Protein backbone atom coordinates (compact mmCIF):
# COMPACT_ATOMS: atom_id res chain seq x y z
CA UNK A 1 0.00 0.00 0.00
CA UNK A 2 2.97 2.29 -0.30
CA UNK A 3 2.00 5.43 -2.09
CA UNK A 4 5.20 7.28 -1.39
CA UNK A 5 7.94 7.67 -3.88
CA UNK A 6 11.15 6.51 -2.33
CA UNK A 7 10.49 4.03 0.44
CA UNK A 8 11.78 1.04 -1.45
CA UNK A 9 15.45 1.80 -1.36
CA UNK A 10 15.37 3.25 2.11
CA UNK A 11 13.62 0.34 3.75
CA UNK A 12 16.20 -2.00 2.34
CA UNK A 13 19.04 -0.28 4.12
CA UNK A 14 20.16 -1.39 7.54
CA UNK A 15 21.66 0.59 10.34
CA UNK A 16 25.30 1.22 9.50
CA UNK A 17 27.39 -0.37 12.24
CA UNK A 18 30.50 1.33 13.45
CA UNK A 19 33.19 0.29 11.05
CA UNK A 20 36.41 -0.92 12.58
CA UNK A 21 39.21 0.17 10.31
CA UNK A 22 40.55 -3.37 9.94
CA UNK A 23 41.22 -6.55 11.90
CA UNK A 24 44.82 -5.53 12.46
CA UNK A 25 45.68 -2.76 14.88
CA UNK A 26 47.23 0.33 13.36
CA UNK A 27 51.06 -0.15 13.36
CA UNK A 28 51.39 3.35 14.77
CA UNK A 29 49.35 2.26 17.77
CA UNK A 30 51.70 -0.67 18.27
CA UNK A 31 54.69 1.63 17.98
CA UNK A 32 53.11 4.01 20.50
CA UNK A 33 52.68 1.24 23.04
CA UNK A 34 56.06 -0.25 22.18
CA UNK A 35 58.14 2.91 22.62
CA UNK A 36 58.17 3.05 26.46
CA UNK A 37 58.68 -0.72 26.60
CA UNK A 38 61.66 -0.51 24.29
CA UNK A 39 63.15 2.36 26.28
CA UNK A 40 62.66 0.41 29.53
CA UNK A 41 64.30 -2.68 28.03
CA UNK A 42 67.23 -0.64 26.70
CA UNK A 43 67.73 0.94 30.10
CA UNK A 44 67.61 -2.48 31.76
CA UNK A 45 70.21 -3.68 29.29
CA UNK A 46 72.41 -0.61 29.81
CA UNK A 47 72.48 -1.21 33.55
CA UNK A 48 73.07 -4.95 33.16
CA UNK A 49 76.09 -4.51 30.87
CA UNK A 50 77.47 -1.83 33.18
CA UNK A 51 77.01 1.25 31.00
CA UNK A 52 75.31 2.87 34.02
CA UNK A 53 75.14 1.97 37.67
CA UNK A 54 71.40 2.75 37.73
CA UNK A 55 71.69 4.45 41.08
CA UNK A 56 69.69 7.59 40.30
CA UNK A 57 67.47 5.94 37.72
CA UNK A 58 66.91 2.33 38.70
CA UNK A 59 66.29 -0.26 35.97
CA UNK A 60 62.78 -1.73 35.58
CA UNK A 61 63.70 -4.95 37.33
CA UNK A 62 64.67 -3.05 40.49
CA UNK A 63 61.52 -0.96 40.42
CA UNK A 64 59.48 -4.09 40.01
CA UNK A 65 61.29 -5.80 42.85
CA UNK A 66 60.71 -2.85 45.16
CA UNK A 67 57.02 -2.73 44.39
CA UNK A 68 56.68 -6.49 44.60
CA UNK A 69 58.24 -6.45 48.07
CA UNK A 70 55.77 -3.76 49.15
CA UNK A 71 52.92 -5.76 47.70
CA UNK A 72 53.97 -8.96 49.43
CA UNK A 73 54.10 -7.24 52.79
CA UNK A 74 50.65 -5.79 52.08
CA UNK A 75 51.92 -2.21 52.41
CA UNK A 76 51.31 -1.30 48.78
CA UNK A 77 47.64 -2.21 49.05
CA UNK A 78 47.27 -0.04 52.14
CA UNK A 79 48.85 2.92 50.35
CA UNK A 80 46.74 2.47 47.24
CA UNK A 81 43.57 2.14 49.30
CA UNK A 82 44.40 5.30 51.24
CA UNK A 83 45.01 7.31 48.06
CA UNK A 84 41.90 6.00 46.35
CA UNK A 85 39.75 6.72 49.39
CA UNK A 86 40.96 10.32 49.43
CA UNK A 87 40.45 10.83 45.71
CA UNK A 88 37.05 9.15 45.90
CA UNK A 89 35.82 11.28 48.80
CA UNK A 90 37.27 14.50 47.38
CA UNK A 91 35.88 13.72 43.94
CA UNK A 92 32.43 12.98 45.32
CA UNK A 93 32.24 16.21 47.32
CA UNK A 94 33.77 18.34 44.59
CA UNK A 95 31.62 16.86 41.84
CA UNK A 96 28.38 17.22 43.78
CA UNK A 97 29.15 20.78 44.84
CA UNK A 98 30.36 21.71 41.36
CA UNK A 99 27.31 20.20 39.67
CA UNK A 100 24.83 21.92 42.00
CA UNK A 101 26.57 25.29 41.86
CA UNK A 102 26.99 25.01 38.11
CA UNK A 103 23.34 24.12 37.63
CA UNK A 104 22.20 27.04 39.76
CA UNK A 105 24.56 29.50 38.09
CA UNK A 106 23.60 28.20 34.64
CA UNK A 107 19.91 28.33 35.39
CA UNK A 108 19.68 31.82 36.84
CA UNK A 109 21.45 34.72 35.22
CA UNK A 110 21.04 36.81 38.37
CA UNK A 111 22.72 34.26 40.58
CA UNK A 112 25.43 33.73 37.98
CA UNK A 113 26.23 37.43 37.84
CA UNK A 114 26.51 37.53 41.59
CA UNK A 115 28.61 34.44 42.28
CA UNK A 116 30.60 33.86 39.11
CA UNK A 117 33.16 36.69 39.59
CA UNK A 118 34.05 35.42 43.06
CA UNK A 119 34.34 31.85 41.86
CA UNK A 120 36.50 32.91 38.93
CA UNK A 121 38.76 34.81 41.33
CA UNK A 122 39.02 31.78 43.62
CA UNK A 123 39.77 29.60 40.63
CA UNK A 124 42.73 31.81 39.80
CA UNK A 125 44.33 30.90 43.14
CA UNK A 126 46.87 28.10 42.63
CA UNK A 127 45.25 25.39 44.68
CA UNK A 128 48.34 24.44 46.61
CA UNK A 129 48.17 27.91 48.11
CA UNK A 130 45.15 26.76 50.10
CA UNK A 131 47.14 24.10 51.90
CA UNK A 132 48.36 26.15 54.89
CA UNK A 133 44.92 27.61 55.42
CA UNK A 134 43.21 24.23 55.22
CA UNK A 135 45.67 22.77 57.70
CA UNK A 136 44.96 25.63 60.10
CA UNK A 137 41.23 25.26 59.68
CA UNK A 138 40.80 21.53 59.32
CA UNK A 139 43.89 20.01 60.89
CA UNK A 140 46.58 17.92 59.26
CA UNK A 141 44.50 14.78 58.91
CA UNK A 142 42.06 13.57 56.29
CA UNK A 143 39.63 16.51 56.24
CA UNK A 144 42.10 19.05 54.90
CA UNK A 145 43.33 16.64 52.24
CA UNK A 146 39.86 15.79 51.04
CA UNK A 147 38.94 19.49 51.00
CA UNK A 148 41.94 20.27 48.81
CA UNK A 149 41.05 17.51 46.35
CA UNK A 150 37.41 18.60 46.34
CA UNK A 151 38.46 22.14 45.45
CA UNK A 152 40.44 20.82 42.52
CA UNK A 153 37.47 18.78 41.27
CA UNK A 154 34.93 21.55 41.92
CA UNK A 155 36.08 24.14 39.41
CA UNK A 156 36.12 22.19 36.14
CA UNK A 157 32.78 20.60 37.04
CA UNK A 158 31.23 23.94 37.97
CA UNK A 159 32.48 25.61 34.79
CA UNK A 160 31.44 22.71 32.57
CA UNK A 161 27.92 22.42 33.94
CA UNK A 162 27.29 26.17 34.00
CA UNK A 163 28.50 26.74 30.46
CA UNK A 164 26.62 23.69 29.17
CA UNK A 165 23.36 24.99 30.60
CA UNK A 166 23.99 28.48 29.25
CA UNK A 167 24.91 27.09 25.86
CA UNK A 168 21.88 24.81 25.54
CA UNK A 169 20.12 25.09 22.20
CA UNK A 170 17.14 27.38 22.72
CA UNK A 171 15.53 25.87 19.66
CA UNK A 172 15.26 22.53 21.46
CA UNK A 173 13.76 24.24 24.50
CA UNK A 174 11.10 25.63 22.20
CA UNK A 175 10.18 22.10 21.14
CA UNK A 176 9.52 21.46 24.82
CA UNK A 177 7.38 24.59 25.06
CA UNK A 178 5.33 23.55 22.04
CA UNK A 179 4.49 20.27 23.77
CA UNK A 180 3.75 22.19 26.98
CA UNK A 181 6.32 20.49 29.21
CA UNK A 182 6.37 21.64 32.81
CA UNK A 183 9.58 23.12 34.24
CA UNK A 184 10.43 19.81 35.81
CA UNK A 185 9.71 17.87 32.60
CA UNK A 186 11.80 20.32 30.60
CA UNK A 187 14.69 19.79 32.99
CA UNK A 188 14.39 16.02 32.85
CA UNK A 189 13.60 15.52 29.17
CA UNK A 190 15.61 18.28 27.52
CA UNK A 191 18.08 20.03 29.84
CA UNK A 192 19.52 16.94 31.48
CA UNK A 193 20.22 14.91 28.33
CA UNK A 194 21.54 17.98 26.55
CA UNK A 195 23.96 18.77 29.36
CA UNK A 196 25.03 15.19 30.04
CA UNK A 197 27.96 14.93 27.58
CA UNK A 198 29.57 18.15 28.79
CA UNK A 199 28.97 17.15 32.38
CA UNK A 200 30.73 13.82 31.90
CA UNK A 201 33.67 15.52 30.20
CA UNK A 202 33.85 17.94 33.12
CA UNK A 203 33.78 15.03 35.57
CA UNK A 204 36.71 13.44 33.76
CA UNK A 205 38.68 16.67 33.91
CA UNK A 206 37.79 16.91 37.60
CA UNK A 207 38.91 13.37 38.27
CA UNK A 208 42.25 14.08 36.60
CA UNK A 209 42.76 17.12 38.78
CA UNK A 210 41.72 15.06 41.79
CA UNK A 211 44.68 12.75 41.17
CA UNK A 212 47.00 15.74 40.81
CA UNK A 213 45.85 17.18 44.08
CA UNK A 214 46.01 13.97 46.05
CA UNK A 215 49.75 13.93 45.38
CA UNK A 216 50.08 17.45 46.75
CA UNK A 217 47.91 16.58 49.72
CA UNK A 218 49.90 13.47 50.55
CA UNK A 219 53.29 15.06 50.04
CA UNK A 220 52.48 17.74 52.57
CA UNK A 221 52.12 15.16 55.28
CA UNK A 222 50.63 11.72 55.42
CA UNK A 223 51.51 8.42 57.00
CA UNK A 224 50.09 6.38 54.17
CA UNK A 225 49.17 6.77 50.54
CA UNK A 226 51.13 6.69 47.30
CA UNK A 227 52.20 10.29 47.93
CA UNK A 228 53.67 9.17 51.22
CA UNK A 229 55.65 6.52 49.31
CA UNK A 230 57.12 9.33 47.20
CA UNK A 231 58.28 11.33 50.21
CA UNK A 232 59.47 8.24 52.01
CA UNK A 233 61.44 7.17 48.95
CA UNK A 234 63.10 10.57 48.81
CA UNK A 235 64.05 10.51 52.50
CA UNK A 236 65.36 6.97 52.34
CA UNK A 237 67.18 7.56 49.05
CA UNK A 238 65.08 4.95 47.21
CA UNK A 239 64.54 6.11 43.61
CA UNK A 240 63.07 2.70 42.78
CA UNK A 241 60.27 3.30 45.28
CA UNK A 242 59.68 6.83 43.94
CA UNK A 243 59.45 5.70 40.32
CA UNK A 244 57.28 2.76 41.38
CA UNK A 245 54.87 5.12 43.12
CA UNK A 246 54.81 7.40 40.08
CA UNK A 247 53.94 4.47 37.85
CA UNK A 248 51.24 3.38 40.30
CA UNK A 249 49.77 6.90 40.17
CA UNK A 250 49.72 6.82 36.39
CA UNK A 251 48.05 3.41 36.29
CA UNK A 252 45.46 4.30 38.93
CA UNK A 253 44.62 7.59 37.23
CA UNK A 254 44.19 5.91 33.88
CA UNK A 255 42.17 3.11 35.43
CA UNK A 256 39.82 5.50 37.23
CA UNK A 257 39.33 7.52 34.05
CA UNK A 258 38.61 4.41 32.01
CA UNK A 259 36.17 3.21 34.63
CA UNK A 260 34.33 6.54 34.54
CA UNK A 261 34.14 6.39 30.74
CA UNK A 262 32.88 2.80 30.75
CA UNK A 263 30.28 3.47 33.43
CA UNK A 264 28.88 6.46 31.60
CA UNK A 265 29.09 5.11 28.07
CA UNK A 266 25.51 3.73 28.06
CA UNK A 267 24.29 7.27 28.69
CA UNK A 268 25.88 8.53 25.53
CA UNK A 269 25.13 5.87 22.92
CA UNK A 270 23.30 8.47 20.89
CA UNK A 271 26.42 10.47 20.33
CA UNK A 272 28.51 10.15 17.25
CA UNK A 273 31.49 9.08 19.30
CA UNK A 274 32.89 6.66 16.77
CA UNK A 275 33.14 9.37 14.19
CA UNK A 276 34.25 12.01 16.65
CA UNK A 277 37.16 9.97 17.93
CA UNK A 278 38.53 8.85 14.59
Helices (H), the chain: 7-12, 27-48, 60-72, 75-107, 109-123, 131-138, 142-166, 170-178, 183-186, 192-219, 226-235, 239-264, 273-277
Q: How far is CA 64 from the centre of its chain?
A: 26
Q: Which is nearer to another protein, 4 or 55 (CB)?
A: 4
Using CB atoms within 10 Å of the CB of residue 212, give its burial: 0 to 12 exposed, 13 to 18 middle, 19+ buried.
middle
Point out which span in 8-16, 46-54, 148-156, 241-249 binds another protein (CB under 8 A): 8-16
CB proximity list for 25: less than 8 A, separation 6 or greater: none
The closest alpha carbon to 205, from 94, 103, 118, 89, belongs to 94
Stretch that binds another protein, among 23-31, 142-150, 157-165, 264-272 (CB under 8 A): 264-272
Q: Shortest distance, CB of residue 15 to another protein, whole angstroms?
A: 6
Binds another protein (CB under 8 A): choice among 137, 179, 182, 255: 179
Closest CA to 152 of 210, 98, 92, 203: 210
- Binding of another protein at residue 196 (CB under 8 A)? yes
Residue from 29, 174, 251, 263 touching another protein (CB under 8 A): that is 174
- φ, ψ for residue 234 (rounded to 5)? -65, -45
Q: How far is the CB of 181 from another protein (least distance, A)?
A: 9
Kindly state whether residue 274 participates in binding another protein, applying the rule CB under 8 A. no
Least Cβ distance, residue 103 to another protein (angstroms): 18
Q: Does 172 bind another protein (CB under 8 A)?
A: yes
Q: Looking at 60-68, 147-155, 167-175, 244-252, which segment touches another protein (CB under 8 A)?
A: 167-175
**Which residues sit at the interface with another protein, rule CB under 8 A?**
2-7, 10-11, 15-16, 171-172, 174-175, 177-180, 189-190, 193-194, 196, 270-272
Amino acid sequence: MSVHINTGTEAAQTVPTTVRASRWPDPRVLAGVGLPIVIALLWELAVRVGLSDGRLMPPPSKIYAAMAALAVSGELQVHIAATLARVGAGFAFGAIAGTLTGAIAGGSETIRRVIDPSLQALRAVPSIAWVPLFILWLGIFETSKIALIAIGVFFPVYLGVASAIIGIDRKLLEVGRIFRLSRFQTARRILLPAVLPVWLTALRAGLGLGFMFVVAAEIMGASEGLGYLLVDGQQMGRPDQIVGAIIAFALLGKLADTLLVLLTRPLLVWQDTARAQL
